[in-house]
Chain A
Amino acid sequence: MLPYRTRLGSPLAFCLFTFAPAFAFAEAPLHERIDQAIAAAQPDFAHHAAGPASDAEFLRRIYLDLIGTIPTAAESRAFLRDSSPVKRQTLIDRLLASPEHARHLATVLDVMLMERRRDKYVPHAQWLEFLRSSVAANKPWDQLVREILTSDGADSKTRPAAKFYLEREAEPNLLTRDISRLFLGTNLQCCQCHDHPRIDDYKQAHYYGLFAFLNRSSLIVDQKLKMAVLSEKADGEVTFQSVFDPAKVTKSTGPRLPEAPPIKEPAVEKGKEYLTAPAPKARAVPRFSRRALLGPSLARADNEQFKRNIANRLWALMMGRGLVHPLDLDHSANPPSHPELLKLLADDIAARKFDMRGFLRELALSQTYQRSSEQSSLSKEPEAASYTVALLKPLTPEQLAWSLMQATGLTDAEREALGKKANEAALYARLSANKAPFVRTFGNPPGQAQEFDARLDQALFLANGSIVRGWLAPRPGNLIDRLTRLTNTDALAEELYLSVFTRLPSAEERKEAANFLASRSKDRLAALQDMAWALLASAEFRFNH
């Protein structure tokens, strides 16, 4: 442990940062500059900051954040025993390169971009595979966004990417809202009718500039292609009035990103406006497509909002809260908690050509990320935006499902059953259907962002439902099976706590486990199940801490 702590910095180092001018170490790696910026934001930072997370705390956290599940008991044992000074970095790199990471980040992006809208036009599996292979290839974020905003769904090779448009029925107001929220971090919805009354930065002209990329497009079920695709007209100008304007002045705009110059549109010869002219039940393709310009105009390194948005969203993913919070209200009256840091992150991700993997790696390496979540005092909840203590993150429905499968040993049993064929894809194929009831019970409603909510139907699902209960039935290789074969209660407690909590039990906990089993010696199997359930249902399991 000691070498590691030394490397990441002692309390003394924290103090030094406090007095150091911001960005004194301009050439330092990003993760160090993150820590400098966080520390610099609060005069007595070191006094408030929690110490580094323990190995066990870090291990569970990094697994959940990078691959969406907890480690196996064996992986935990190995990591905790590992004495390498660079074991955390090694683990981060191993996880980021794993197929599990590609699947996990693809799922995160799916939930973020589609918000669990129901499949109507593009099967979810195809879309997820598009995202998964993109992440696996470390496709830059700007390229991914351009692909999403450019596909019209007509070409089978790029059709999955069109899900973003198609499942929103290509409705231009809905798309304007969601593109502004999800890709620019600015919810322009209020600007549909007038300049935002309280957010000076958000203008009605911004809304309609974005809208003008999309208003000529519509969803059409093309008779020849036998599927829903985007169709686009060659005409249709955008005009708007403010509902607050007594004079009712009508303004107009061409396609245009907020604060960007107008886009020059080519003159098209009259009569030659279409490559495929509009016809009933057939898609129209204009010679000049406004929509085709949206991706290239928006997903650019010189688009300040675009790079701030992705930097902020990935930060929130790892740290539990956006520097700009809420994630889609980036404006001057709602400044980031750490303005310079957000600028630094935004510039960095653009400079690394939107390499998400490299960026996540830097976040994971930071002390800020690797800080403990234990509060020094419970009298006052620490200011979330100060990052003095690592924030608790509720497990997403997917993380909860996968972690329960891992903790109960369902995953181990399946891996064992697959034998040599056990790889990420095969395991995913065997187990992924188990996610559905968790998504149904814990997931956000279609079309709404995921938010934490603890409800009694969820508690009933975990307490009395047949799913978790089924996973606690003994089966070769699973948790209960392993526990039943351990006669030494100490070893049993270790196996249980390592499997469920990714840590070793304290002496007190070992004693409690022994007492519990002793009190239920007549129904030992049920006692083991009940004890395992109690840990699975505890707050320590429900949160990524």
Chain B
Amino acid sequence: MWCSYACNSAEHGISRRGFFASAAASALSLGSFIRPAFTRELNKQQKRVLMIWLHGGVSQLETWDPKPGTATGGPFQTIATSVPGIHICELLPYTAKIMHHLALVRGLNTAEDDHGKGAYIMHTGRRQEPAMKWPHFGSVCAKLLGDSDNPLPGYIHITPRGNGGVNSQDAAFLGPRYASVALSDGHAPANLDRPAALTQVADQQRHEFRMHANERFLSSRRTAQTEAYTHSYDQAAQLMRRRDLFDISKEPPAVIDRYGRHDFGRHCLMARRLLEGGATFVKVMHTNYDTHHENFDFHIEQLGEFDRPFATLMDDLHDRGLLSSTLVLVLSEFGRTPRINRNFGRDHWSKAWSIALAGCGIKGGSVSGKTNADGTAVTDRQVNGGHLFHTYLSALGFNSKKNFYVEQRPIPIADPKASPIKEVLA
């Protein structure tokens, strides 16, 4: 039977008194469901998250869990990495050199072969439920790690194309403030530029007139909502001043070359600029890996594009001392079938696949989980999306068993049926 355990009671380990105390506290923070004490605990250290999303379902056999020389292995060889004993697919030579930063989870069974539902699990740590929407990890981080004075959106999603703008449903009950803001093809958020016809002086003058009008009105009608509204203009102005963060042409050409002059390279470079500039959560999407046809040719092409910018970004984060406080996730909606189909393709496969983690709170060079010889089943340390969510939260230093409070309900941040994967935690 389905149960979200969304309504934790004493039986779920939350005392009645604790609930009421926290509900009262949450009522004080306008629109904020988190107990302030918890928020402070999380904000002690500046931490951030980089998520690389390999859209379409990257093959675990052509990346983190190769099985060369078997019927399912495909044509590629493995290569040694910077960690003795860990081999990955030859399509990732640059990544192999930074293996000591990475942890592999090779025992993933998410049991969901549909793109949308698989993506949902990997973004929210839960399976879809008809009457409950869960927030993306990016929204959770925007909420838990974000700083309300930071003008950068808390959850930035760099997509290769599509519409830019706010995807308000990503944040679910956390509220649209924590939703992802898509930067289509790495373009800055919409409306960040002052209209061409408006001079800076005139812009300043009209804002002064606005603020003056506000003062008069708010002298007798100030509320939390009016404060939030007037503050949003200050934030907008701050973001306009930091417009350069979205402009990679400010980087030296040699740096741009190092990342590669293609979409993913440029987007990784932008991710670095944003993370350095104080962004809380940056997701970079690389597409596409849905290789039902010609899996091998397409993985040569796509991973050929992925490998170097990813490793370069990791190196840069490390060199700048940011990697230890940046949790890095390399995810996909699922893996691909060990069986190679008649069109040299691999199909959707969620029963036994892998992801990679790095950075903040992650034990570099570690591996959790194992699959059998031909990669068709997990044989050791099987985990699902819930475990991953606990692991991410733990890596960031949070107690992953904590709750969000939505109106009167405590809602476990991570699925209470799962727990962190300790083997990959530092």
Which residues of A are interface residues toward B (Cβ below 8 A)?
A: 171, 173-174, 176-178, 189-190, 192-194, 196-199, 241, 243-244, 326, 329, 334, 373-375, 378, 381, 392, 394, 440-441, 443-448, 451-461, 463-466, 469, 509, 512, 516, 519-520, 523, 526-527, 530-531, 533-535, 537-540, 542-543, 545
- Inside 8 A of A530's CB, which chain B residues have their CB? 198, 202, 205-206, 209
Do A374 and B221 contact each other (CB < 8 Å), given the known contacts A193-B1, A534-B209? yes
In the bound complex, how far is the Cα of B324 from the Cα of A379, in angstroms?
45
Q: A454: which B residues are within 8 A, CB to CB?
A: 225, 228-229, 231-232
Interface membership of chain B positions 96-112, coded 1 if the CB is closer than 8 angstroms to chain A and 0 otherwise? 00000000000000000
Residues of chain A within 8 A of B117, CB atoms compared? none
Q: Pull 17 A–B residue pairs with CB atoms less than 8 Å apart, ordered by A.
A: A190-B409, A193-B5, A197-B11, A375-B222, A448-B172, A451-B175, A455-B166, A455-B177, A457-B165, A457-B181, A460-B191, A465-B190, A466-B195, A535-B209, A538-B213, A539-B214, A539-B217
Q: Is B82 an interface residue (CB 8 A)?
A: no
B191 contacts A440, CB within 8 Å?
A: no
Known: A198-B16, A454-B229, A539-B226. A523 touches B202 (CB 8 A): yes
If the complex has contacts A459-B233, A459-B236, A512-B212, are A334 and B408 also in contact, measured as CB distance less than 8 A?
Answer: yes
Which one, A173, A394, A463, contacts B233 given CB within 8 A?
Answer: A463
- Interface contact A189-B220, CB-CB below 8 Å: no
Tell which of B66-74, B125-133, B286-294, B349-357 binds the partner: B125-133
- In angstroms, Cα B221 to Cα A234, docked, is 58
Distance to closest chain B CB from A369 (angstroms):
17
In the complex, the answer to whether A543 meets B212 with C-beta atoms within 8 Å is: no
Q: Are the C-beta atoms of A445 and B168 separated by less than 8 Å?
A: yes
Q: How far is the CA of A178 from the CA of B130 in the complex (A)?
A: 11
Q: Knowing A516-B205, A539-B229, say if A192 contacts B2 (CB, 8 Å).
A: yes
A334 / chain B contacts, CB cutoff of 8 Å:
408
Known: A190-B409, A197-B9, A534-B209. A374 touches B220 (CB 8 A): yes
Category for how many chain B residues contact A: 35 or more
Determine if B385 is an interface residue (Cβ-Cβ < 8 Å). no
B207/A540 in contact, CB under 8 A: no
In the assembled complex, B169 has its CB within 8 A of some CB on chain A: yes
Contacts of A509 in B (CB 8 A): 216
Q: Among the listed A171, A441, A456, which residue makes an inter-chain contact with B236, where contact means beta carbons less than 8 Å apart?
A: A456
- Tell which of A190, A456, A469, A516 touches B232, judged by Cβ atoms closer than 8 Å: A456
What residues on A are CB-neighbors of B225 within 8 Å?
392, 394, 452, 454, 543
Q: Which residues of the other chain, A, contact B228 by a CB distance below 8 angstroms?
A: 452-454
Smallest CB separation, B91 vs chain A (Å): 38
B280 CB to closest chain A CB (Å) equals 14
- Cα distance, A451 to B224, chains bound together (Å): 14
A171 touches B130 (CB 8 A): yes
Chain B positions within 8 Å of A440 at CB level: 165
Bound form: Cα–Cα A381–B166 in Å? 32
Residue of A nearest to B192 (CB): A460
Q: Is the CB of B190 within 8 A of A461?
A: yes
Q: Which of A373, A447, A539 contacts B169 (CB 8 A)?
A: A447
Indicate whether A192 sits within 8 Å of B209 (C-beta atoms), given known contacts A174-B131, A456-B235, A456-B239: no
Q: Across the interface, name the chain B residue whose C-beta is closest to A513.
A: B209
Top 9 A-B pairs, shortest CB-CB distance: A197-B9, A190-B7, A534-B209, A530-B206, A445-B168, A445-B169, A193-B3, A460-B191, A459-B236
- Cβ of A466 to closest chain B Cβ, rounded Å: 8
Q: In whole angstroms, how far apart are the Cα atoms of A174 and B31 in the complex?
A: 25
Is there contact, CB below 8 Å, between B206 and A173?
A: no
> How far in angstroms is the closest Cβ of chain A from B232?
4
- Cα A519 to Cα B209 in complex, Å, equals 12
Residues on A with beta carbons closer than 8 Å to the beta carbon of B12 = 197
Name A533's closest neighbour in chain B (CB-CB). B206
| A198/B408 in contact, CB under 8 A | yes
List 11 other contacts, CB 8 Å, given A464-B191, A539-B217.
A173-B131, A174-B131, A199-B408, A373-B221, A392-B221, A394-B229, A440-B165, A448-B133, A457-B153, A459-B235, A460-B189
Q: How far is the CA of A533 from the CA of B408 in the complex (A)?
A: 40
**B219 at interface by CB-CB < 8 Å:** yes
Report which residue of A173, A198, A446, A545 has the largest number of chain B beta carbons within 10 angstroms of its beta carbon.
A198
Which residues of chain B are near A375, meaning CB under 8 Å?
220-222
Q: CA–CA, A371 to B115, complex, Å?
A: 54
- Check B169–A446 contact: CB distance below 8 A: yes
Question: Is there contact, CB below 8 Å, between A177 and B221?
Answer: no
Chain B residues whose C-beta falls within 8 Å of the C-beta of A465 in the assembled complex:
190-191
Give every chain B residue within 8 A of A374 (Cβ-Cβ): 220-221
A519 to B208, CA, bound (A): 13
Contact residues in A for B319 (Cβ distance below 8 Å): none
Pair A198/B19 contact, Cβ less than 8 Å: yes
C-alpha spacing A519/B204, complex, angstroms: 13
How close is A52's CB to chain B, nearest CB, in angstroms?
Answer: 15
A189 and chain B: residue at smallest CB distance: B131
User: How near does chain B come to A51, taking the closest CB pair, in angstroms?
Assistant: 12
**B396-425 toward A: CB 8 Å interface, digit per residue (1/0)?**
000000000001110000000000000000
Cβ–Cβ contact B206 & A534, under 8 A: yes
Output the nearest chain A residue to B152 by Cβ-Cβ distance: A456
Residues of chain B within 8 A (CB-CB) of A448 are 133, 169, 172-173
Q: Is B343 an interface residue (CB 8 A)?
A: no
Asked if B300 is an interface residue, CB under 8 A from chain A, the answer is: no
Pair A392/B232 contact, Cβ less than 8 Å: no
A190/B11 contact (C-beta < 8 A), A458-B232, A512-B212, A542-B229 known: no
CA distance in complex: A192, B2 (Å): 8
Q: Does B6 contact A (CB under 8 A)?
A: yes
**Closest approach, in angstroms, between the C-beta of B230 and any C-beta of chain A?**
6
In the assembled complex, the Cα of A62 lies from the Cα of B68 at a distance in Å of 74
- Assembly CA distance A445 to B181 (angstroms): 13
Q: How far is the CA of A512 from the CA of B190 in the complex (A)?
A: 32
What are the residues of chain B within 8 A of A441 when measuring CB–CB?
166
B407 and chain A: residue at smallest CB distance: A326
What 0/1 pattern do residues 221 to 262 of B give for CB contact below 8 A with A? 111111011111101100110000000000000000000000
- In the complex, chain B residues whose CB is within 8 Å of the CB of A466: 195
Question: For B181, B198, B206, which residue has the most chain A Cβ atoms within 10 angstroms?
Answer: B206
Q: Chain B's nearest CB lies how many Å from the CB of A381?
A: 6
Residues in chain B near residue A469, CB distance under 8 A: 195
Residues of B near A177 (CB, < 8 A) are 131
B176 touches A444 (CB 8 A): yes
Provide the bound-state CA to CA distance between A445 and B136, in Å: 14
Contact with A along B26-63 (1 / 0, CB 8 A): 00000100000000000000000000000000000000
Contact A456–B151 (Cβ < 8 Å) = yes
Distance, CA A544 to CA B51, complexed state (A): 41
Chain B residues contacting A193 (CB-CB under 8 Å) are 1-5, 7
Is B161 in contact with chain A by the CB < 8 A criterion?
Answer: no
B408 and A329: CB pair below 8 A? yes
When distances are taken between beta carbons in the complex, the residues of chain A under 8 Å from B239 are: 456, 460
User: What is the CB-to-nearest-CB distance from A113 to chain B, in angstroms, rounded to a whole number?
Assistant: 16
Complex Cα gap A189–B224 (Å): 30
- Verify A196–B7 contact, CB threshold 8 A: yes
In the assembled complex, the CB of A186 is this many whole angstroms from the nearest CB of chain B, namely: 13
A535 to B211, CA, bound (A): 9
Nearest B residue (CB) for A199: B408
B229 touches A174 (CB 8 A): no
Q: How long is the Cα–Cα vector from A381 to B226 in the complex, in angstroms?
A: 12
Given contacts A174-B130, A196-B7, A465-B191, contact A459 B169 (CB under 8 A): no
Residue numbers in B under 8 Å from A197 (CB-CB): 7-12
B24 within 8 Å of A by Cβ? no
- Residue in A190, A381, A539 whose CB lies within 8 Å of B218: A539
Is B210 on the interface with A (CB-CB < 8 A)?
A: yes
Interchain nearest-CB distance for B56 vs A (Å): 23
Q: Counting CB contacts under 8 A, is B179 at the interface?
A: yes
Nearest CB of A to B386, in Å:
17
CA separation between A534 and B210, bound complex, in Å?
Answer: 4
Partner of B219, one of A171, A378, A463: A378
